[in-house]
Homo-oligomer: A and B are copies of this chain.
Amino acid sequence: MMNRALLAILPLGFAVVFTACAAVQPTDSLPSWSEGETKTAITRFVTNVTTEGSPDFVPSAQRIAAFDNDGTLWAEQPVVQFEFLAYQIKKMSGQHPEWKTQQPYKAVLEGDQEYLINDITNNHGKGLHELVLAAHAGMTLQEFNEAVREFFNTEQHPKFKQMYNRTAYQPMLELLAYLRTNGFKTYLSSGGGVDLMRVIATDTYGIVPENVIGTFAIDSFEQVDGEWKIVKGAKNMFLHDALTKPVGINLRIGRIPIFVGGNVRTGGDIGQLTYSQTNELPNFQLLINHDDEVREFAYAEPDNASLDAAESGGWHVVSMKNDWLRIFSFEESKQSE
């Protein structure tokens, strides 16, 4: 009797299971992206490279994605790296009254970020190098990491009144997670210092320390008070920006990313977006355009180089205003149209 009863309910059991499966809707992995060309292009690319048998299939080991940070994954007005540098320099400025009138310190103390951006773009970051030497060199890595944590736990974004790591763009967090779910390794490829970004990359972006690429100088390994430590240096500074981004990526990864994201401001991401196009595998370029002065900021590039490169390269340009239903997690979502 029991066996018969068991057998009798089996088909019903199967029916329940099948109904449950049929009722599951495909989940939207990118809910903060408006339906439209950009979102469709992203999901089509990811579907193609992950579908075995597709002519565009890419094995998981070669699914490498790299993203600029400032202006691509979080807000860059102001640049957080410079804010941290200012935070450190201000702490030390009591002992350096001459800094009030002496560049590059004066610019930092006065919050003149354009000075530093110009220094990087047009002067090989020589001022930045001097600041890094003054502010960080000689600290142990542990001391530096503590200072970074203190900064992120203390300082707020001046416009949004949020901790800096909360200014990460919600649509990009979704994109990073979506790529990882689809077997991509996600990398940061930032002009910011590699050690700074590592402190917050995992919690903010889900990006592990070994996948953070950025500006670096040569540290040392030495005994400090009898214990072996990594000590921050300033020698041979490698500024990971513009045409050195492909160099830094190759140094660190040794393969060309198939998905690269950057943004419009100084032309600093043209190099790495171009680099990804030299890959023989299918590849995708995403360029963020800051055109939403209400929810974030609206700014353009004086010479329009990034958008021109996008046009000729067939890159996908994100209009923050139109492509993103929500920019920050602390903000309510617009309705999808």
Is A212's CB within 8 Å of the partner chain B? yes
Taking a contact as CB atoms under 8 Å apart, the answer to whether B275 and A194 are in contact is no
Q: Write out, one digit per residue, whether chain A residues 96-110 have a CB within 8 A of any chain B CB (1) or not (0).
A: 000000000000000
List, in ascending order, chain B residues with CB within 8 A of A253's CB.
209-210
Interface pair A250/B230, CB less than 8 Å apart: yes
The CA-CA distance from A254 to B195 in the complex, in Å, is 8
- Asked if A221 and B275 make an inter-chain contact with CB atoms under 8 angstroms apart, the answer reads yes
Residue positions of A touching B, CB distance < 8 A: 3, 7, 61, 64, 141, 185, 194-195, 198, 208-210, 212, 216, 218-222, 227-230, 236, 238, 243-247, 250-255, 271, 274-275, 277-278
State how many copies of this chain the complex holds.
2
Does A243 lie within 8 Å of B218, measured CB to CB? no
Q: Is the CB of A228 within 8 A of B7?
A: no
Residue from the set A218, A221, A228 with the largest chain B CB neighbour count within 10 Å: A221
Min CB distance A191 to B, Å, is 15
CB nearest to A235 among chain B residues: B236
Nearest residue (CB) in B for A219 is B247
Whether B275 contacts A247 by the Cβ 8 Å rule is no
**Cα separation A250 to B185 with both chains bound (whole Å):** 20
- Chain B residues, Cβ within 8 Å of A274: 228
Q: Shortest beta-carbon distance, A92 to chain B, in Å?
A: 24
- The 8 Å CB contact of A218, one of B220, B227, B229, B238, is B238
Residues of B within 8 A of A141 (CB): 250
What are 24 residue pairs bridging A and B, where the CB atoms are less than 8 Å apart in the complex?
A: A3-B7, A61-B208, A64-B210, A141-B250, A185-B210, A194-B254, A195-B254, A198-B254, A210-B253, A212-B254, A218-B238, A218-B247, A219-B247, A220-B247, A221-B243, A221-B244, A221-B246, A221-B247, A221-B271, A227-B278, A228-B274, A228-B278, A230-B246, A236-B238
